[in-house]
Amino acid sequence: MNNNSAAQDRSYLPSRENLASLIEQAIKAPAGIAGHSADVPQQVSKGGGVSAEAPDRLIEELSAAQEHLRTEPVSAQAAAARGAASREAHNPAGLAVVPAHGLLDMLRDWRNRYRVLLGFVHRHIFDRRIEQLLFFKTAGPVSSLETGADGQMRFHYRGPIPEMVLGWALSVLPADLKRYAFVDFEAGNGRTLLLAARRNFEHAIGYTLDAETCAALEMNLAQYSRSYMSCRDARALRGDRDSFPIPMQPAVLYFPCSMDAVYLSVALSRLSASLKHNPQPVYLIFENSGPERRLEQMELFHKVPLPVLNRIKVQMFSPADVAVYKSIDGGRES
């Protein structure tokens, strides 16, 4: 039996249990992590969230997941041990044996379940406050498993981006944003737009494609408390694929996971043309990063790493893969 492989298998278990324990601690004491939790009432209305018992149910769910994680690898290791003993009986020379993919599949499945749970925790615990401030509430996150081009199943998170995750992504921006505009290219009810307006952008734009969504966005902008906003100039724009709000100034452009691939390609093409004629520092934030790397328009941008601590937080506590890019030399090709 390959002792090194068995030791590596066992090393996964403590780290996964620790991740679940960290989330459990966050649920038990949200005030130390969420920041605004002290202001959040314990009872939420029936139309706006869950009751005060939700954290207890989540803790029970986490405990069950932890118990599953304790027993599942043991079974896998026992099966691996039996398989290794059988192989050794037929391989007395001790030749190297390629390990099976069962452990990788198991870890991938655990990661998918963990991210679904993260989306639920962010929605019903850390983001309760922002939802209470909205007249038109945000639809809950929808997670799915999608088959990639390589045939592998991958987890796909479909917004809204959690408040803390957006903050971690925005941490790479300059401290002073008074010269910058913020644009959400598919603003929905304006939740992300209003979170961004807590920074001192010169103005913030939420772009929608239909009248009903634009009306909901305008209502949320109108009734949102200005005491939460450092950027007082938050606007709603309605248009179609022939009219994109490309700012002629330094900007932060947010592309949510709900954005259509064709729509994204057209928006980046308009942005690339604008940067070549009017170079400006522009940051791009992708909620579900990955697909953008295949687009030729991204040659004008380079990926900006998050600060180390926030990068770790995204890896451990974000249900979505976020990435930030910045224009090269103000938009000029290098």
- Structure confidence by residue, pLDDT tens digits, 148-200: 666 666 677 877 899 999 999 999 999 999 999 999 999 999 999 999 999 99
**What are residue 204's DSSP bridge partners?**
182, 234
Q: How remote is the C-alpha of 112 from its chain's centroid? A: 13
Q: Is residue 124 part of a domain?
A: yes
Q: Is residue 69 part of a domain?
A: yes
Q: Is residue 145 part of a domain?
A: no
Q: Residue 231 is part of a domain; what is its CATH number?
A: 3.40.50.150
pLDDT of residue 244: 76
Q: pLDDT tier at 35 (50, 70, 90 boundaries)?
A: very low
Q: Indicate if 44 and 121 belong to the same structural domain.
A: yes
Q: How many domains does the chain have?
A: 2
Q: Is residue 217 part of a domain?
A: yes
Task: Evaluate if pTM is beyond 0.85.
Answer: no
pLDDT of residue 283: 97
> What is the C-alpha to C-alpha distance for residues 308 and 247, in angstroms, rounded to an integer?
30
Of the candidates 145, 144, 141, the residue with the CA atom closest to the CA atom of residue 165:
141
Q: How remote is the C-alpha of 54 from its chain's centroid? A: 22
What sign results for the dihedral spanned by CA atoms 169, 170, 173, 174?
A: negative
Q: Indicate if 219 and 303 belong to the same structural domain.
A: yes
Query: Which residues, including other chains, have CB under 8 Å from residue 103's CB and lie 6 or more apart?
Result: 9, 12, 76, 80
- Considering 80, 113, 132, which residue would you say is the last residue of a domain? 132
Q: Is residue 253 part of a domain?
A: yes
Is the pLDDT confidence value at 318 over 80?
yes
Residue type for 94, please? G
Which residues span the domain enclosing 167?
163-331
With vertex at residue 190, the alpha carbon angle to CA 203 and CA 180, rounded to the nearest 5 degrees, is 20
Q: Is residue 146 part of a domain?
A: no
Q: Is residue 137 part of a domain?
A: no
